[in-house]
Structure 1
Amino acid sequence: MGNWLLLMIAGILSIVAGFVALANPFGASLLATTIAGWSFVILGILQVFAAFGVEGFGGKIWALLLGVVAVVLGVNILGEPLQGMLALTIVVGIMFVMSGVFKVIFGFGLEGSMKWAVVLSGVVSLVLGAMVLSNIPGSAVVALGVLLAVELLSNGMSMIAMSLAVKDADA
């Protein structure tokens, strides 16, 4: 039995969760926003504690300040999840656009068959970013949920593939 079965179960659960997220993208967006909020709070608290171990007064102050900012950001996102969802969606849209720009520039600098794959990936990122940003605030209620769903589906498929590879290797 072993590890392959656990990977298979985790993969199936991830795929089921992905379909649930696709069926309710607003709920999934709210969940993604809540996870982001708690992540900022927890990582901010850890940063504050880590700041006391930083060498030098300036480094200690910056580390402490960054930790406090992360905690405040997380608390604000948790306290106003719809505004947090809007802000996170804008950040995601900007990240898609920036990623697209860099992939297109990098792609045109390549030679051979990889060039057009990277350029195409960049164009897809640009289009996705433009779609998200052109429909704010409407896209805010579904964009994060759809991205979470795609990530869950992708992770599920890769976990199932890994489980089958591990099972074959054990046989």
Structure 2
Amino acid sequence: MTGRILWIVIGILSVLAGILALANPFMATLTAERFAGWSFIFIGGLQIGAAFQTVGWAGRIWVILLGLACILLGVFLLLNPLAGIVSLTFAAAVTFIIAGIFKIVLAMDLRGTPAFWLMMLSGLVSVVLGAMVLGNFPASAATLLGILLAVELISTGVSMVALSTTREATRH
């Protein structure tokens, strides 16, 4: 299979997965929550393993404690999926608001440039999205993560198909 065809296949599969996630956002939300749980456990285990590569016990203890915290978070997410969904949704909403505020502040530094209005608009959209999630919280928890996953999959799929048309991608 040529590189170009492989990029197209990956893109199409990603778009289809995104459409499936949009068709059942609660299951996609649950899948995203489960993936996050297992990821925290895996990362925590790697951190504990890496702790034995650090010099001195002071640094090693902190890395081990951080690894244990990640593992505990992952176990919490896996054992309490609904609470995990609510927690992750709340974290996403707060992240949207904080990122939006930072973008608005950055836009102020960009006054007089073509990027000002785009950055300001992006910041305002992020703040409004975060406020919408919090305004409909905890009901928004049932679908938000799944919708975000779906949008990411569709966006990635479209970019992969677009990448397949570039000369650099077709050379490999």
TM-score strictly above 0.5: yes
Partners of 2:165 and 2:34 in 1: CA distance? 33
Matches within 5 A, 1:128-147: 128-147=129-148
Q: CA deviation at 1:166?
A: 4.2
Deviations 1:76-126 (A, max 9, x none): 100111100000000000000000000001101113111111000000000
Deviations 1:59-78 (A, max 9, x none): 10100000000001001100
For normalisation by structure 1, the TM-score amounts to 0.96
Partners of 2:169 and 2:139 in 1: CA distance? 46
1:164 corresponding residue in structure 2: 165
Deviations 1:134-167 (A, max 9, x none): 1111000000000000000000000000112248
Whether the 8 Å CA contact 1:94–1:129 is kept in 2: the answer is yes
Partners of 1:37 and 1:116 in 2: CA distance? 38
Partners of 1:89 and 1:64 in 2: CA distance? 28
Partners of 1:156 and 1:10 in 2: CA distance? 7
Partners of 1:78 and 1:169 in 2: CA distance? 41
The gaps in structure 2 that reach 5 residues or longer are none
2:117 corresponding residue in structure 1: 116
Q: Structure 1 50/168 Cα, relative in aligned 2: closer, same or farther at 3 Å?
A: closer
The gaps in structure 1 that reach 5 residues or longer are none
Whether the 8 Å CA contact 1:4–1:166 is kept in 2: the answer is no
2:96 corresponding residue in structure 1: 96
For normalisation by structure 2, the TM-score amounts to 0.95
Q: Structure 1 56/155 Cα, relative in aligned 2: closer, same or farther at 3 Å?
A: same
Equivalenced residue count is 170
Identical columns (%):
47
Partners of 1:153 and 1:92 in 2: CA distance? 19
1:58 corresponding residue in structure 2: 58
